[in-house]
A and B are shown apart, each in its own frame.
Chain A
């Protein structure tokens, strides 16, 4: 186990290198010139050239790449073209906010999704099953900004129970609406995976045996049936959590949440290369770590899965 983890951690290095390289070159391939974003509409070619020199993107691409790679090895992610602040500081400032939102959204998704899935699986083909399914499908086919707007309008403006938007003092009141809006996106998938996974085994012999042994139904359901659905659930939770952690632009926009999503979009729009590269590198790190944790959970939850080192 330990060697497996160690090996996976070592393997991060080539992956991160790959991410840096691809981001670097893909970013430069994108049309548009950062000098256009940094200089006004009135800037002359001479002016743009001066900006290019100042930020070093007049040099050959490979030289820029080498310099960038060297700086990363030294732990320096560079300075944002747009705000002139260190990239690492910007990420460090945003990530806790993103994490709060992602985590709360995931909690909402898990609570609602697994409940709906359980209801569906325990009463298959009944009204409740269909209701759970239709509701969760409505959840997934409602564009996130609609749901956000509705929540903002009814809960924030009409009822005035919660602030309509913003980060405020960082209190939980500001978190609830965006978390619901975002989390709803994952509910349907989780619910259906739970249902499918549980239905697969509901009539299996071992459950019948367990029941025959006089086990309480609750134990049967949670310990035996649910365990069968848990692998795909964990996979989805892992995937969605990781994607929430890389920012959720629309939710952040509607609720004016100061997260990574809004900021990476601005960075891409402005062709702020150091910020783009640094953030993507950080995302890659998150994805790798979460995938590792998910892989370890597989083995922990399903003893049949083994990782040979």
Chain B
């Protein structure tokens, strides 16, 4: 099996694993509590005591980044996956069957896409009380639509290929055709879409915390650290730079993993 040998998979896998381990064992890694305020040590630059410096109320940025991984990774991964599943199903149905199904489903997609995120989220905040569940619902409810559009286009292009027509002529069921013959050839955009949107999902969580949804202060999350910290970007860049770097590393890791998997799983790919 040459799967693990692929450099992208090795690097990406290592990064992703490291992140998940970090998030899980946060209390063992940090020397400070993420909400430990020390007003006499504000905006300390990175040092041996505070690897990533301290923020505007003297909290250790390193601890906050590590603990923040829990919320940010959690929200990022779960909402992307939920969005992927919904989008995949709707996209496949829409692209494969075409006609009335397509028209109906695509109109739902249109409505979802046209809807301002902010309004949707504010309304969701009423139905579900504060907490991460509402963030999950709000983000998933928005994110699937793009996936559905992409998947649909892919399936539409695939189902007209000769081999699909041939399989259908042999009497294969629709389900079989989709799952065994179209999806394996159409999953690449889905994979890319999944890894690509992580950054947006993590940043969107920050926006939600202003609306009283999701992680309320002082709970650390990368998005809110970047957002609040950026006010001090010219005097204390470390406050927002390190969570930003964590976000970038996450995105890089999962994308490398995705790209590696793509290379390895792609039947056309040759080393």
| B268→A192 contact, CB < 8 A | no
Give chain B's interface residues, CB within 8 Å of chain A: 98-99, 103, 106-107, 109-111, 113-116, 118-120, 122-123, 125-127, 146, 149-150, 153-154, 156-157, 160-161, 188-189, 192-193, 196, 199, 203, 226-227, 230, 233, 240, 244, 247-248, 250-252, 255-256, 259, 262, 266, 268-270
Which residues of B are found within 8 Å of A288, using beta-carbon distances? 110, 114
**8 Å CB contacts to B: which residues of A106-149?**
133-134, 137-138, 140-143, 145-146, 149
The answer for the CA separation of A246 and B227 in the assembled complex, in Å, is 22
Known A-B contacts A15-B107, A239-B146; A31 and B268 likewise in contact (beta carbons under 8 Å)? no
- Chain B residues near A265 (CB, 8 Å)? 118
Contact with B along A266-309 (1 / 0, CB 8 A): 00100000001001100110111001000000100010111110
With A15-B110, A19-B115, A146-B230 known as contacts, the answer to whether A199 contacts B123 (CB < 8 A) is no
Measuring CB to CB, which residues of chain A are less than 8 angstroms from any residue of chain B?
8, 11, 14-15, 18-19, 22-23, 26-27, 29-31, 133-134, 137-138, 140-143, 145-146, 149, 188-189, 192-193, 196, 199-204, 231-232, 234-236, 238-239, 242-243, 246, 264-265, 268, 276, 279-280, 283-284, 286-288, 291, 298, 302, 304-308
Using known A-B contacts A27-B119, A143-B244, A232-B153, determine if residue A246 contacts B189 with beta carbons closer than 8 Å: no
Main secondary structure of the interface of A (DSSP, over half): helix
Q: How far is the CA of A288 from the CA of B149 in the complex (A)?
A: 12
Tell me how far the C-beta of B150 lies from the nearest C-beta in chain A, rounded to whole angstroms: 5
A200 touches B149 (CB 8 A): no
Query: Who on chain B is nearest to A303 by CB?
Result: B160
Q: Is the interface of B mostly helix, strand, loop or mixed?
A: helix
Taking CB atoms, residues of chain B closer than 8 Å to A200 are 188, 266, 268
Is A268 touching B116 in the complex (CB atoms < 8 A)? yes
Q: List 15 A-B contacts (CB under 8 A).
A: A11-B107, A14-B107, A18-B111, A30-B119, A137-B248, A142-B248, A146-B244, A192-B259, A239-B150, A268-B122, A276-B116, A287-B110, A288-B110, A291-B110, A308-B98
| Closest residue on chain A to residue B258 by CB atoms | A192
Q: Which residues of B contact A189 (CB under 8 A)?
A: 192-193, 196
A204 to B106 Cα, complex, angstroms: 33
A8 proximity list for chain B (CB < 8 A): 103
Pairwise interchain contact B99-A31, C-beta atoms closer than 8 A: no
Please measure, in the bound complex, the distance between the C-alpha atom of A298 and the C-alpha atom of B203, giving whole angstroms: 32
Q: Which residues of A contact B127 (CB under 8 A)?
A: 29
Min CB gap A39→B, angstroms: 20
Alpha-carbon separation in the docked complex, A201 to B161 (Å): 14
Q: Do A196 and B189 form a contact, CB below 8 Å, given A234-B153, A283-B116, A291-B106?
A: yes
- Chain B residue at minimum C-beta to C-beta distance from A269: B118
The answer to whether A141 touches B251, judged by C-beta atoms less than 8 angstroms apart, is yes
Given contacts A137-B251, A143-B203, A200-B266, contact A284 B111 (CB under 8 A): yes
Q: Known: A231-B157, A239-B113, A287-B114. Contact between A134 and B268, CB under 8 A?
A: no
Q: Quick check: B268 and A242 within 8 Å, CB to CB? A: no
B227 cross-chain contacts in A, Cβ below 8 A:
143
> What A residues does B157 contact at CB under 8 A?
231, 298, 302, 304-305
Known contacts A140-B196, A192-B259, A287-B113: A204-B153 contact under CB 8 Å:
no
Q: Establish whether residues A141 and B199, one from each chain, have CB atoms under 8 Å apart when the complex forms.
A: yes
Assembled-state Cα–Cα distance A143/B233 (Å): 13
Q: Which residues of B contact A149 (CB under 8 A)?
A: 230, 233
Judge whether B115 and A22 touch: CB under 8 Å.
yes
- Please give, as numbers and ranges, the residues of chain B lying within 8 Å of A201 by CB-CB distance: 268
A235 touching B153, Cβ below 8 Å: yes
- Measured in the bound complex, the distance between the Cα atoms of B189 and A201 in whole Å is 15
A189-B196, A246-B116, A287-B114 given as contacts; is B252 within 8 A of A137 (CB)?
Answer: yes
A232 CA to B226 CA, complexed, in Å: 32
Closest Cβ of chain A to B80, distance in Å, is 14
Beyond A141-B199, A291-B109, 7 additional pairs, beta carbon < 8 A: A30-B119, A133-B259, A137-B252, A141-B250, A143-B230, A235-B150, A306-B160
